[in-house]
Structure 1
Amino acid sequence: MGKPDLGKIVLTVGDWSPDGWIAHLEHHVPREDVIFSDGMTPPAPEICEQVKYAVAWHTPDGFFSNFPNLKAILSTGAGVDHLVRRQDLAEDVAIIRVIDPDLTGRVTAWTVMNVIAHHRQALAYLDAQRRSEWKPLPQTSAPDVRVGIMGFGELGQSVAAVLDLLGYDLAGWARNPKPDTSIPVFAGLDEIDAFLARSDILICLLPLTEATREILNADLFAKLPQDGVTGGPFLINGGRGGHQNEDDLLKALQDGVLKGASIDVFHQEPLPCDHPLWTAPNILITPHTAGMSAPESLLGRMVENLIAYASGQTLDNLVDRQAGY
């Protein structure tokens, strides 16, 4: 049996350069079937009618209404919150999450880097270096540092596996119970306070839903332990900017409720140059690069997903629009 006809595939990758995406997509489908759009200007109507699938990142509202025969969208990033609530997508248009070992590895590396940076006081040493000051600081052992991971899906479990090898005292938190895990996983709002109370370093890798929007707020920060071996709690957010209340985050850093933070995602991106978080104490800011997508790794799996979907197969990574991920 031959491969199903995928029709035209529209590719729109936001601010990223399309060159690598187009070149690698051509390895898997005929070049004439790849339709690039900057997301602002749709292709000609006769082309739009032939488009069955989209490989997409952020696009303006209304963009997808130009494609009357659209069957499915593949997100080029780990999150799908930018797709699930759109008004220009019919209910029968499938949204497919990307699950890619390279992307998972990148997010894992960024997260573990920041856990170690805060545990081993890297920002304090950088500050001392700027002053040419030789200042050894006390170091606690990894098993004494309690790390909490909010979100225990593909990314959270990958991070946990690496941190476990390093000896950290780990726990996870998820919406639903996770019985078959190597570390304790708290579940639901009934157990979140107990989870927070044992998190010296709190990692957020949650999907962004209405239930998790601005979950990182003053009330949550106040429930983190002030008496742990790290001398105060640290926050690492590699999830979504919408997870954090940025006013509360700034105040928590200024008041010492949070001893430090690593933040990769923000409500407004790029983060404005005059935003006060740039100069907040003990914060490491990265420009949404924790899990930058690599087309050479993603596109082969994306096309495999499209072929499977077009053949009527059920996919594990179809998005549940009601759940939001």
Structure 2
Amino acid sequence: MSRPRGTLALLIHGGTDNWSPERWKTRFDAVCADRPVFLLPDETLDPAEVRYAAVWKPRPGELAAFANLRVIFNLGAGVDALIADASLPKLPIVRVAVDDLTKRMTEYVVLHVLAHHRQEIYLRESQREKRWEPKTQWPAGAISVGIMGLGNLGADAAEALKILGFKVSGWSRSEKNISGVSCFHGMDGLAPFLKKTNILVCLLPLTAETRHILNRSLLSMLDRDSPLGAPVLINAGRGGLQNEAELLACLNDGTLGAATLDVFETEPLPKESPFWTHRKVLITPHNAADTDPDAISKYVAVQIERHEAGQTLQNVVDMRRGY
């Protein structure tokens, strides 16, 4: 007997506890109780039965095997690795946009803006060396935080930082308006945005236009006239956004005063990378906004129900823009 038309296939290549394929299968079984869910590879499944695929870093060519696939759900926020697959079927790709992920990213951004604002690198160094030498601490209102990328993640982080009293500005490809935030857009708005930014938070998607956008030329335009002494970079977007050789050189020569880096071009970060031991750098292992299987599986289930009811899918990737 043929299985129901709405079969969902899970293609998940993880390597960490949060990306355990079995963990995701358990969550999808719970929220798709009336729908067959298969964790691939599974020799009992006929590829022609698959209508939906929920994926994380599928191998190039894997999705092309499903001739009757209707929608692809990407389980993480970034879709650059997925759309780089030349064999990818020309189908709607739905990206994650849930409150849980957004709030986790806001927590991360606020944590690290505050860490640099409150001189945590200096204070922890003082602790290790047993030095009781506090420095003058300035108020949040003395610091301008600029956010590159004003989608769901950037807009929410901007609101939280604004409440804390920081001067907040934002830059995006297209025009955006957020109350109390100075918004810039397009290439004409990039330089004015950078010139008023003391702490730069990058939450951009990775596209052909944004690859290596965090380079010496851009970082040199950041405002240096603040109590920080030199500007700070926080990159919680994608590793490919940063030119790592130029970023390291900017840290070494004082163009940047410090950086928080959650993402890298090669992950896990190689043990020989100088970023690991750099005294001006805070490193996190790409966990700024870990995806929650419960929230995401429910989100996908609702999207499938909408699609089968003839309703419009939400948060479909614009393939022309790459996000």
2:7 partner amino acid? G
Counterpart in the other structure of 2:73: 74
1:174-323 to 2 correspondences below 5 Å? 174-179=172-177, 181-323=179-321
Q: Which residue of 2 aligns with 1:8?
A: 8
Distance in 2 between residues matched to 1:106 and 1:179, nearest whole Å = 23
- Partner of 1:24 in structure 2? 27
Alignment gaps of 5+ in structure 2: none
Alignment equivalent of 2:105, drawn from 104, 107, 119: 107
Residue 5 of structure 1: how far off its partner (Å):
4.4
TM (norm. structure 1) is 0.93
Match of 1:9, SS?
strand
> SS of the counterpart of 1:27?
helix
Residue 31 of structure 1 deviates from its aligned partner by 8.1
CA deviations 1:106-136 (Å, max 9, x no partner) are: 1110111000000000011010100111111
CA displacement, residues 54-96 of structure 1 (integer Å, 9 cap, x when unaligned): 11111221111221111111111111111223212222x1100
User: How large is the RMSD of aligned CA atoms in angstroms?
Assistant: 1.6
- Distance in 2, matches of 1:141 and 1:170, equals 14
Shift of 1:13: 4.3
Q: CA deviation at 1:27?
A: 1.1
Q: Partners in 2 of 1:56 and 1:98 — Cα distance?
A: 11
Deviation of 1:179 after TM superposition, in Å, equals: 3.4
Q: Following the alignment from structure 1 to structure 2, what is the Cα–Cα distance between the partners of residues 304 and 115?
A: 35
The residue that corresponds to 2:115 in the other structure is 117
Per-residue Cα deviation, 1:209-252 (whole angstroms, up to 9, x for no partner): 11111100010111112222211100000000010000011111
Q: Compute the TM-score of the two structures, normalised by the length of structure 2.
A: 0.94
Deviates more, 1:55-64 or 1:166-175: 55-64
1:145 paired with 2:143, answer yes
- Offset, 1:311: 2.5
Per the alignment, residue 60 of structure 2 pairs with: 61
Residues of 1 paired with 2:286 and 2:26: CA distance? 24
- DSSP-derived class of the 2:69 partner: coil
1:34 — aligned with what? Answer: 37
Retained in 2: the 8 A contact 1:6–1:307?
no
Residue in 2 that maps onto 1:173: 171
What secondary structure does 1:277 align onto?
Answer: coil
Q: 1:11 to 1:59 in 2, by over 3 A?
A: closer
**Same amino acid, percent of matched pairs:** 40
Check the 8 A contact 2:73/2:95 in 1, yes or no. Answer: yes
Does the 8 Å contact 1:28/1:303 carry over to 2?
A: yes
Q: What SS does structure 2 have at the residue aligned with 1:54?
A: strand
